[in-house]
Structure 1
Amino acid sequence: MESRKDQHVRLFQETYQQHTNDFDSVKFIHDSLPEMSLKQVDHTTELPIGSWPVPFFINGMTGGSEKTKRINECLSQAAAATGIAVASGSQKAALRDSELLDTFQVLRRVNANGFIFANVGAELAVEQAKRAIDMLEANALQVHLNAPQEIVMPEGDRDFSSWLKNLERIVRSVDVPVVVKEVGFGMSRATFQKLIAAGVAAIDVAGNGGVNFITIENRRRERARFDYLQDWGQSTVISLLEAQPYIGQGTFFASGGVRHPLDVLKALALGARAVGISGTFLHTALEEGTDGLIAQIEEWKEQLSQIMLLLGCPNLQALRGKDLILNGAPLEWARLRGLRPEELAVRSSKLGR
């Protein structure tokens, strides 16, 4: 387990690159007269799990070895310094081996008052979920869904039959809000229906376009590779389009392929209430350390406000009423799924903006 965690980080570094993705197929319409000032911008986001001053956070990545302990320390130091939330990677390793506890507990030790997500897989039982929460004195729990990764992982699970029932038990039994997230393969309407019925506090659609665990796990296979599954799943943008009929019924987060503050704002405009960043921040942490990551997060905060000013949006509610133009794959997907993309293109007129 410890070796696999370090392999994931090494293979992430070897395969990391920022490239075009479906966020590039979502466009705002420029307005030459924003009619406001920067001091009017407020990007506070209200969530079932609390009020955050910034609508993005460091999403779950790693832990389970000495190397990943140092990474978690860096991530949590940056979260503490910038006041944003941070999520643990899967804590399964520490639940199996108490010697690995500190590779996760470092998140709380260096960020005593911060908002921290614990993280477990959907295959784990209620008692394990409670132990993961206690391990970090966590404010909320992420339960991750990663069936494609498990299939490609040489030693991965092959039985997903208990996942939904386990999740329902966890939601009923733990004392903190539960957020269900994918790990980079996106979600569909059918999944949203099940998760909303299960009573989860929020859903992180976590689509493809960023860190690709099929690529990473394929690199760990000596034979019988799954290269043909490289593009499996839905992008974050397409997953948010799938979520449109459920925006009023559930709270949605977005992650996967988020490269810069403009991507954050596009996800928020598509209905996400908060945006998780994994690969982009992990790459900075590995290359530039804590100081570099703190500087990047502060730059993102500033640029987020500046782009909201450019859009004439004093708050996130106004952003969610901005017209959006879809192109490429998201446009085709929306039309085939009966989602009426033309309504997104003119929604400001219906809201009187």
Structure 2
Amino acid sequence: MNDVIPPGRKDQHLDVVLAGRGRHARDAGFDAIRFVHEALPDLDHDKIDLGADFLGRRLKAPLLISSMTGGPARAEAINARLAEAAQHLGLALAVGSQRTAIEGVSSGGLDLNLRRRAPDTPILANIGASQLTRGFGLDEARRAVDMIGADALTIHLNPLQEACQPEGDRDWWGVGAALEALIRRLEIPVVVKETGAGLSGRTARRLIDMGAAAVDVAGAGGSNWALIEGERAADPADKAHAAAFADWGMPTARAIVDVRRACPEAVVIGSGGVRDGVDAARAVRLGADIVGQAAGLLKPATVSTEAVVEHFQRVTRQLRTVCFCTNSANLAQLRRAPLQPFD
């Protein structure tokens, strides 16, 4: 274990994802979900309501930008573009890990300029659960929230990544107890998310019982952080270790169903391998309140705010068309749309 983040690690992560490497060997499971097509909808396509409530704010669509950023110079531009796009489109924004910003190494654009760019956007701060037994506590959580004017704090669970990271934090003894203590004491909502291997219903139920305001299933089917760490490892033994976990985890579609069954009252975020608006609609139908995207945004976010806006306009248009072709005037009706039997 090494408590110091090696220089360039975040940039290496970004390079691997942008190069199309580190993808999960399994798909997210959405292709098995097929809606019954309605050939005679009684709707005006343009008047379909995609709005969703999240963290006390009304979103124009049930979409969350799950940010995943790299080194300081690139991260600042990426975060600015994501915030501007979220504000323009009425979406939610979750930033990447703020550990280095809290430790004073670099901010990566994670300061109050983010809130100024997105004054009406639900913004989620972010720290890692493993840090809660390594010096991070209530004060650091408040700093993460205050530095960007966040509405909530995301705490990410990444045991597989840490186990495959050469300098990873592999002692998780006491993390659950520290997490619950923080949730109980922090004054704003806490969202707990996985990072690509999926939440089970059992774990989600435990988190909701701790007081988590929402859970993000972050299932298998998108970025695989074991493989990403394997890509950047210099030691062949580390690479071989990570490669064995190419298909590890619970696919996103299954995770959403499992978590919704275990936590019928919870706010559930569905992320992990969401490719487009049709997948977003499938996630909503399976039980997600909000749908997150991360890796698919990195390329447009390295280009411009307009490229991010165009990406989400396409996703939103696709989601609206699914509603139209299932005769769903809003998301509540989409959640009851009939599905074709599984093959």
TM-score, length-normalised on structure 1?
A: 0.87
Output the CA distance in 2 between the equivalents of 1:99 and 1:132.
14
Cα distance, 1:147–1:66 mapped onto 2, change above 3 Å: same
User: What is residue 101 of structure 1 aligned with on the other side?
Assistant: 107
Which sections of structure 2, spanning at least 5 residues, go unmatched? none
Which sections of structure 1, spanning at least 5 residues, go unmatched? 329-353
Asked if the contact 2:98–2:127 (Cα under 8 Å) also holds between the matched residues in 1, the reply is yes
The amino acid of 1:166's aligned partner reads A
Output the CA distance in 2 between the equivalents of 1:219 and 1:53.
38
User: What is residue 246 of structure 1 aligned with on the other side?
Assistant: 262
Cα distance, 1:21–1:246 mapped onto 2, change above 3 Å: closer
Q: Within the alignment, does 1:295 sit opposite 2:310 as a pair? A: yes
Greater per-residue helix proportion:
1
The amino acid of 1:312's aligned partner reads N
The amino acid of 1:112's aligned partner reads P
Asked if the contact 2:55–2:152 (Cα under 8 Å) also holds between the matched residues in 1, the reply is no
Asked if the contact 1:57–1:276 (Cα under 8 Å) also holds between the matched residues in 2, the reply is yes
Q: 1:114-133 maps to which residues of 2 (within 5 A)? A: 114-123=121-130, 124=132, 125-133=137-145
User: What is residue 236 of structure 2 aligned with on the other side?
Assistant: 223
Output the CA distance in 1 between the equivalents of 2:33 and 2:83.
32
The amino acid of 1:67's aligned partner reads R
Alignment match of 1:197 (pick from 206, 209, 221): 209
Q: CA deviation at 1:326?
A: 6.2
Residues 303-328 of structure 1: CA distance to partner in whole angstroms, max 9, x if unpaired?
32222111100011111112234647
**What's the secondary structure of 1:100's corresponding residue?**
coil
Q: CA deviation at 1:208?
A: 1.1
Cα distance, 1:326–1:128 mapped onto 2, change above 3 Å: farther
Asked if the contact 1:64–1:94 (Cα under 8 Å) also holds between the matched residues in 2, the reply is no
The amino acid of 1:322's aligned partner reads A
Q: CA deviation at 1:147?
A: 0.3
Output the CA distance in 1 between the equivalents of 2:56 and 2:108.
26
Output the CA distance in 2 between the equivalents of 1:134 and 1:43.
30
**What's the secondary structure of 1:27's corresponding residue?**
coil
User: What is residue 206 of structure 1 aligned with on the other side?
Assistant: 218
Asked if the contact 1:63–1:91 (Cα under 8 Å) also holds between the matched residues in 2, the reply is no
Output the CA distance in 2 between the equivalents of 1:254 and 1:218.
26
Q: 1:68-147 maps to which residues of 2 (within 5 A)? A: 68-96=75-103, 98-101=104-107, 103-105=109-111, 106-123=113-130, 124=132, 125-147=137-159
Q: CA deviation at 1:21?
A: 3.9
Output the CA distance in 2 between the equivalents of 1:267 and 1:317.
13
User: What is residue 274 of structure 1 aligned with on the other side?
Assistant: 290
Output the CA distance in 1 between the equivalents of 2:53 and 2:119.
22
The amino acid of 2:224's aligned partner reads N
Q: CA deviation at 1:49?
A: 4.1
Output the CA distance in 2 between the equivalents of 1:57 and 1:229.
27
The amino acid of 1:9's aligned partner reads L
Q: Within the alignment, does 1:237 sit opposite 2:253 as a pair? A: yes
Alignment match of 1:3 (pick from 1, 8, 22): 8
Cα distance, 1:87–1:244 mapped onto 2, change above 3 Å: closer
Q: CA deviation at 1:64?
A: 5.2
Asked if the contact 1:196–1:249 (Cα under 8 Å) also holds between the matched residues in 2, the reply is no
**What's the secondary structure of 2:88's corresponding residue?**
helix
Q: CA deviation at 1:59?
A: 0.7
Q: CA deviation at 1:279?
A: 0.9
User: What is residue 346 of structure 1 aligned with on the other side?
Assistant: none
Q: Within the alignment, does 1:153 sit opposite 2:165 as a pair? A: yes
Residues 149-179 of structure 1: CA distance to partner in whole angstroms, max 9, x if unpaired?
0000110001112221122122112222111
Higher relative contact order (CA 8 A, sep 6+): 2
Q: CA deviation at 1:200?
A: 0.7
Residues 56-95 of structure 1: CA distance to partner in whole angstroms, max 9, x if unpaired?
0211312552222221122112222222111110101111
TM-score, length-normalised on structure 2?
A: 0.89
Output the CA distance in 1 between the equivalents of 2:306 and 2:236.
41
How many residues in Structure 1 have an aligned counterpart in Structure 2? 326
User: What is residue 60 of structure 1 aligned with on the other side?
Assistant: 67
Give aligned-pair identity as a percent. Answer: 35
Q: Within the alignment, does 1:318 sit opposite 2:321 as a pair? A: no
Asked if the contact 1:205–1:252 (Cα under 8 Å) also holds between the matched residues in 2, the reply is yes
User: What is residue 34 of structure 2 aligned with on the other side?
Assistant: 27
Output the CA distance in 2 between the equivalents of 1:148 and 1:60.
19
The amino acid of 1:56's aligned partner reads L
Output the CA distance in 1 between the equivalents of 2:181 and 2:79.
29
Q: Within the alignment, does 1:309 sit opposite 2:321 as a pair? A: no
Asked if the contact 1:5–1:68 (Cα under 8 Å) also holds between the matched residues in 2, the reply is no
The amino acid of 1:319's aligned partner reads L
Q: CA deviation at 1:54?
A: 1.0
